[in-house]
């Protein structure tokens, strides 16, 4: 099966959703309340272990393959949104794509440098301001004197992400994407409780203003990353 698996985690619940990409249908949706898993107070770690031990075989039978990767969705209330902007003087030159890439990459590195305890999950460009005029899309090949890019970074504590990675690693499961559920829900305002649709909108690049970065070979600029959706 050509599947997409979402594992949504909150302080109260763990839900597992299996989506068949070929038929475009939800195949399974199971919800586990942490308070029901034990007579004692069940920790997040205990809850994840319980669910994985009891559901891996079930999932593998449905997808007819080994469970090697999932999309982890985090419904934690302690996500952090950092807004930042970068300005460049153009002196009436044309705005180029590679310059935009560099500016956003440089801003990302500055955020990480000053917040080494954070992991960036989403990068959203809220605004392009060209000579005080606002644009929703990149005004490429436009001459200007000054360009300002306003960017929002949605982050989680790095130690929490590593904590979760280590739990799933015991079951040989990696994360395809780590998604902030609150952000994902904002993409389906008409039905914010539809976790599957929210997750699919993130992985399918529904928000054209979200920057998806992928590792690229190191260059003299450092560990550069290719910005994807904004220029597709």
Q: How far apart are the C-alpha atoms of 158 and 207, rounded to whole Å?
A: 24
| Cβ proximity of 201 and 226 under 8 Å | no
- Under the banding of pLDDT at 50, 70 and 90, the label for residue 122 is very high
| Cβ proximity of 149 and 100 under 8 Å | yes
Q: Which residue has the higher pLDDT, 124 or 97?
A: 124
Long-range contacts from 129-133, C-beta under 8 angstroms, 24+ separation: 130/95
Q: How far apart are the C-alpha atoms of 224 and 67, rounded to whole Å?
A: 31
Q: Which residue has the higher pLDDT, 218 or 183?
A: 183
| Residue 122 CB partners (closer than 8 Å, separation 6+) | 152, 153, 154, 179, 180, 183, 202, 210
Q: For helices 158-169 and 44-63, give the axis angle rounded to 10 degrees.
A: 50
Identify the weakest region by mean pLDDT among 15-19, 51-55, 86-90, 120-124.
86-90
Q: What is the mean pLDDT of residues 116-144?
A: 89
pLDDT per position as a tens digit, 74-96: 987 778 999 999 998 988 888 88
Q: Which residue has the higher pLDDT, 231 or 11?
A: 11
Confidence at residue 226, expressed as pLDDT on a 0 to 100 scale: 35
What is the radius of gyration, based on Cα positions, of the chain? Answer: 20
Q: How far apart are the C-alpha atoms of 166 and 44, rounded to whole Å?
A: 13
Burial class (CB in 10 A: 0-12, 13-18, 19+), 160: middle
Mean pLDDT for all residues in the chain: 86
Confidence at residue 42, expressed as pLDDT on a 0 to 100 scale: 64
Q: What is the mean pLDDT of residues 125-136?
A: 89
φ, ψ (nearest 5 deg) of residue 132: 70, 10
Give the 3-state secondary structure of residue 197.
helix
Give the 3-state secondary structure of residue 202.
helix
φ, ψ (nearest 5 deg) of residue 202: -75, -50
- Under the banding of pLDDT at 50, 70 and 90, the label for residue 36 is confident
pTM: 0.86
Q: How far apart are the C-alpha atoms of 43 and 39, rounded to whole Å?
A: 12
Burial class (CB in 10 A: 0-12, 13-18, 19+), 48: buried
pLDDT per position as a tens digit, 155-213: 999 999 999 999 999 999 999 999 999 999 999 988 878 999 999 999 999 998 898 75
């Amino acid at each position: 099966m050509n599947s997409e698996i979402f594992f949504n985690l909150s302080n109260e619940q763990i839900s597992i959703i299996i989506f068949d990409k070929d038929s475009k249908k939800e195949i399974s949706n199971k919800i586990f309340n942490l308070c029901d898993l034990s007579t004692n107070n069940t920790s997040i770690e205990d809850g994840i272990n319980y669910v994985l031990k009891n559901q891996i075989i079930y999932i593998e039978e449905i997808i007819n393959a080994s469970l090697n990767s999932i999309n982890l969705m985090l419904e934690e209330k302690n996500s952090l949104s950092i807004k930042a902007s970068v300005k460049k003087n153009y002196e009436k030159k044309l705005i180029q794509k590679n310059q935009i890439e560099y500016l956003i990459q440089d801003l990302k590195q500055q955020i990480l440098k000053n917040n080494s305890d954070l992991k960036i999950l989403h990068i959203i460009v809220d605004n392009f301001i060209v000579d005080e005029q606002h644009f929703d899309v990149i005004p490429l090949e436009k001459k200007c004197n000054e360009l300002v890019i306003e960017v929002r970074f949605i982050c989680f504590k790095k130690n929490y992400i590593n904590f979760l990675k280590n739990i799933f690693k015991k079951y040989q499961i990696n994360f395809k994407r780590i998604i902030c559920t609150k952000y994902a829900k904002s993409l389906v305002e008409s039905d914010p409780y539809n976790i599957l649709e929210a997750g699919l909108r993130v992985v399918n690049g529904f928000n054209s203003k979200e920057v998806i970065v992928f590792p690229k070979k190191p260059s003299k600029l450092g560990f550069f990353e290719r910005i994807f959706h904004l220029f597709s």
